[in-house]
Structure 1
Amino acid sequence: MNSKVLLVILGLAALTYAAPGFSSEENSFESYESSEAKYSFNYAVKDESSENDFGHQETRDGDDTQGSYYVHLPDGRLQTVKYYVDGDSGYVAEVSYQGEARFPDSASYESNESK
């Protein structure tokens, strides 16, 4: 059992040493991360049977990131969040709601619960 554990540890050490970008002389790891990210995506889900209705879209070009997402809440309102990244200020979001919250009538809810 101990020899198996030792072999696993030695194997992991060998993989770490042989990993691309690892320099044994400097004992450091070089990063190959791109500084200029550029992407755009979106998705939406609307499933009648589960009543799920939500979506998200985002675009990024370098340091400029902006997007929005929405969800239909169980109380009947639509919640929308619009956001952007403003340099060193970070994530800035604006949250809004459309519609009016509707809750079940507590009297009818209690009578249904007792059945």
Structure 2
Amino acid sequence: MAYKFVVLAALVAVAKAGIIGAPAVYAPGAPLAARAYAAPVARAVAAPVAAAAIDTDYDPNPQYSYSYDIQDGLTGDSKGQQESRSGDVVQGSYSLVEPDGTRRTVEYAADPVNGFNAVVHREPAAVALGHSKAIIG
């Protein structure tokens, strides 16, 4: 069933594009040879607009800088990011504490010459400082 729908949709698209002409209309009782399809009608193509639109919001040297840092003692969520851009060069880093307690830090840079490059650092889980009792026997 889906195949029939696709074929029908393709035929409708071709007919709307003007590749297949519309059937000619003849008086009832006309011979079968006269009931053929008419030739496609040539369509006029509009000339391109002479004046190009100017984008007044275009910035040839975009620049920005942002950062955030989250340290939530209640949930233990610890993450942050900083990034800056000057023209086509972007530099930044982000870090987060993974479920196993390790901190992952990703430093990245992107530019038209070198593309996107990232370096990942992992720091071991923080060791909990506490008192331990040694049993000497």
By the TM > 0.5 criterion, same fold? yes
Cα RMSD of the aligned pairs, angstroms, is 2.6
**Can you give the 5+ residue segments of structure 2 that lack an aligned partner in the other structure?**
1-47, 127-137
Q: Taking structure 2 as the reference length, what is the TM-score of the superposition?
A: 0.49
For the residue of structure 2 that corresponds to 1:51, the secondary structure is: coil
Secondary structure of 1:74 counterpart: coil
Count of aligned residue pairs for this structure pair: 78
1:26 is aligned to 2:49: yes
Contact kept in structure 2, 1:56 and 1:68, CA below 8 Å: yes
TM-fit CA distance, 1:89:
3.5
**Within the alignment, does 1:73 sit opposite 2:98 as a pair?**
yes
- Structure with greater proportional strand content: 1
User: What is the CA deviation profile of residues 44-97 of structure 1, one whole-angstrom value per residue up to 9, with x for unaligned ones?
Assistant: 001011111000001111122101000011101000000001324421111110
Q: Which string of whole-angstrom CA distances, capped at 9 and with x for unpartnered residues, describes residues 32-53 of structure 1?
A: 3212111111100010111110
**1:98 counterpart letter in structure 2:** E
- Aligned equivalents of 1:68 and 1:86: distance in 2? 15
Choose between structure 1 and 2: higher helix proportion.
1
Contact 1:86–1:92 (CA<8 Å) still a contact in 2? no
Which entry has the higher C-alpha Rg, 1 or 2?
2
Distance in 1, matches of 2:53 and 2:124, equals 52
* Counterpart amino acid of residue 100 in structure 2: D
TM-score for the superposition, normalised by structure 1: 0.58
* Structure 1 stretches lacking a partner, 5+ long: 1-24, 102-115
**Counterpart of 1:57 in structure 2: which amino acid?**
Q
Say if 2:82 is the partner of 1:57: yes
Letter in 1 for 2:61: E
